[in-house]
Amino acid sequence: MHHMSSAHPFDSGAGAGKIAVVTGASSGIGRATVEQLCATGWRVYALARRAERLDLLAEQTGAVAVPVDICDERSVQSAAERILGETDGMINALVNIAGGAHGADRVLDGKAEDWEWMFRTNVLGTFAMIRAFLPAVRASGEGTVLNLTSTAADAGYEGGAGYNAAKFGERGMTEALRLEEAEHNVRVIEICPGMVKTEEFSRVRLGSEEAAEAVYAGVEKPLTAEDVAQTVVFSLNVAHHVNLDRITLRPVAQASQFKVIRRESR
């Protein structure tokens, strides 16, 4: 028998008694994160715009559905008031999954509205959530802020400039936050997925199912939402003195931003 004070990260009770707020919860990585946090014992507030999807998720997992638009300051504030009223002003983790890409234009052909949407969603939305919930994270005594960025925060690529700019921006904010919050015993974690095939990301970005499918053509096993969520949940459940500053995960077929193994469909 081993006697360890903290539960193993994959124990079903690893998050027992802990409270998490998760954005982007209506689909993809956010949804999978809510499912897995609930399964490891966390009490989860699931935040997204689409109320009917959240209600279904709440029924399936026991999470609490909180409809919110992270790009609307007042919406964020009212969600925070509601949640913090129910949690005595304390949460253990703020998990910022909401984000996304619009368009794949080169800089010269880029659309200002695409860039603005990406900056609002990835940077300002995350910023609004942090401002609203950070005092509650600090109040837990052992809190965590986790931001989901992307390998697009590592290196620019053709057609990626707007998304690169947004994710580089989110990374900069995350790095500054880690320096500012260590003295408050707050962990700041950045998870950077490469190629993930989720139900909506590429469709939202490129506007059609066909264009979205082409992104993954010939790639035998892109990451799934569940794969990324497993890493998110591991980093939240690992002993609090361990800060996984930045985790990059890609499918084996994507050796780098610039090398992807695509096999002919047999």
Q: Which residues are catalytic?
A: 163
DSSP 8-state class, residue 178 = H
Per the CB < 8 A criterion, the answer to whether 144 and 94 are in contact is yes
Residue 247: beta bridge partners?
A: 191
Alpha helices in the chain (DSSP H): 28-39, 51-61, 73-86, 112-119, 125-139, 161-181, 201-206, 209-215, 225-237
The Cα–Cα gap between 200 and 39 comes to 24
User: Identity (one letter) of the amino acid at 151?
Assistant: T
For tokens 């408050």, the residue is: 184
In the three-class reduction of DSSP (H, G, I as helix; E, B as strand; rest coil), residue 45 is classed as strand
Per the CB < 8 A criterion, the answer to whether 194 and 146 are in contact is no
The Cα–Cα gap between 254 and 186 comes to 33
> How many residues would you count in the chain?
266
